[in-house]
Amino acid sequence: MLAKRIIPCLDVRDGKVVKGVNFEGIKEVGDPVECAYEYNLQGADEIVFYDITASHEGRGVMLDVVRETAKKVFVPLTVGGGIKTVDDIRDTLRAGADKVSVNSQAVQNPSLIKQGADVFGSQCICVGVDAKAVGENKWTVFINGGRIDMKRDLIEWVKECEALGAGEICLNSIDTDGVRGGFDLPMLKAVVDAVKIPVIASGGAGKLSDFADAFLETDCSAALAASLFHFKELTVSQVKDDCRSKGIIVR
C-alpha cells in the first residue's frame, strides 16, 4: 500500500531558513542544508524548499542550497517560489530538485504548467494553490501570498491544472494557514474529489492529531507543515507514530 507522506517545508531567503509570524517578523532560524538533513533523519518523506527571495542573486543561492542538499539527503526535494519560466524549471531540476512547485506564476500563465509537464514530465510539476472560502463550499484562488483574489473558482482551477499536466496539487488554505486549528478539511475534500492527481494538504497544522485527521477525513496523499517542525514543537517521527497508531500507513 502506498504510504501517506509527511512533508516538512523550509522557507528560505538568501540562503537561510527564515520564519516570520507575519511579514514584519521574519527571523533567520538556520542553515537549510542542515535543516533538511535533520528532517531526513526524522523520516521526512520529501522536503520542500520555498524560496521567498526576491532578488536574482538570491535565486543562485537557492540553487546552491539544492545542490548541497542533494549530496547528502536522498529523499525527493521540491523547490517552490519564484519559478516563472521553463528555464527556471530546468535550472532547478538540474541543481538536484525532483519537483518544482509553481503557484502565482501558473495562475497568471497557465501554459507554464503545460510547457513544464511536456518538457520534464508531469511527475516534476506540482502546482501550489492558495485559496479562501467565499461562500458555503465555494472557494476562490489567490496569488502573491494570499494578497490578490483572482476571482477564479478553486475547483475549476485545480481541474484545469490537472488537464494541463500537473502531477500534483499542493493545496494551501488561507483561512486556516497560521491559525493552527487543523487543515481545512472541507476545502481539501472538495479538491481531492475533483481531481485524480495526488493532493497535498497545507496550512493549518497546529497539533499532532491534525495530520491523522486529514488522512482519516479525506483521501489526500500527503500533509505539509512548516513552523510546527521548524520550532521543534513536533518531529516528523512523532507525527508518523500518531498516524500509525490510528491505522494510517506511513513509511
Partner 1 sequence: MIAIIDYGAGNIFSVKNALDYLGYENKLTDKAEDIERADALILPGVGAFPWAMNMLKLSGLVDTIKSEARFKPFLGICLGMQLLFEKSYEFEECQGLSLINGYVDKISDPGLVIPHMGWNKLEYNHNCPLFDGLSDNEYVYFVHSYKAFLQDKNLCAYSTYGTKVPAVVTDGGYVYGCQFHPEKSGETGLRILKNFAELKS
| Residues designated catalytic | 11, 130
With CB under 8 A as the contact rule, which of the stretches 29-37, 69-77, 152-160, 229-237 interacts with partner 1? Answer: 69-77
In total, the chain counts a number of residues equal to 251
Q: Does residue 113 interact with partner 1 by CB under 8 A?
A: no
Closer to partner 1 at the Cβ: 26 or 248?
248
Q: Give φ, ψ of 22 to 5 degrees.
A: -140, -170
Nearby residues of 192 by Cβ (< 8 Å), 6 or more positions away? 199, 218, 219, 220
Comparing CB distances to partner 1, the nearer of 64 and 233 is 64
Which residues in the 184-203 window bind partner 1 by CB under 8 A?
196-198
Compute CA distances 193 → 103, 182, 198, 218, 219, whole Å. Answer: 21, 19, 11, 9, 8
Which of 60, 96, 165, 178 is in the footprint of partner 1 by CB under 8 A? 96
Pick from 27, 55, 108, 121: which binds partner 1 (CB under 8 A)? 121
> Is position 94 an interface residue for partner 1 (rule: CB under 8 A)?
yes
Describe the crossing of helices 56-69 and 86-94 by its angle, rounded to 10 degrees. 30
By CB under 8 A, residue 150 contacts partner 1: no
Does 167 sit near partner 1 (CB under 8 A)?
yes
Between CA 152 and CA 135 the distance in angstroms is: 13
Of the candidate spans 24-32, 49-57, 71-79, 201-209, the one that interacts with partner 1 by CB under 8 A turns out to be 71-79
Question: Is position 40 an interface residue for partner 1 (rule: CB under 8 A)?
Answer: yes
- The CA-CA-CA angle for residues 48, 30, 14, to 5°, reads 70
241 and 209 Cβ atoms separated by less than 8 Å: no
Amino acid (1-letter code) at residue 96: G
Q: If binding is defined by CB under 8 A, does position 116 make contact with partner 1?
A: no
Point out which residues bind partner 1 (CB under 8 A): 1-3, 5, 40, 45, 70-72, 74-76, 93-94, 96, 98, 120-124, 167-168, 196-198, 221-222, 251
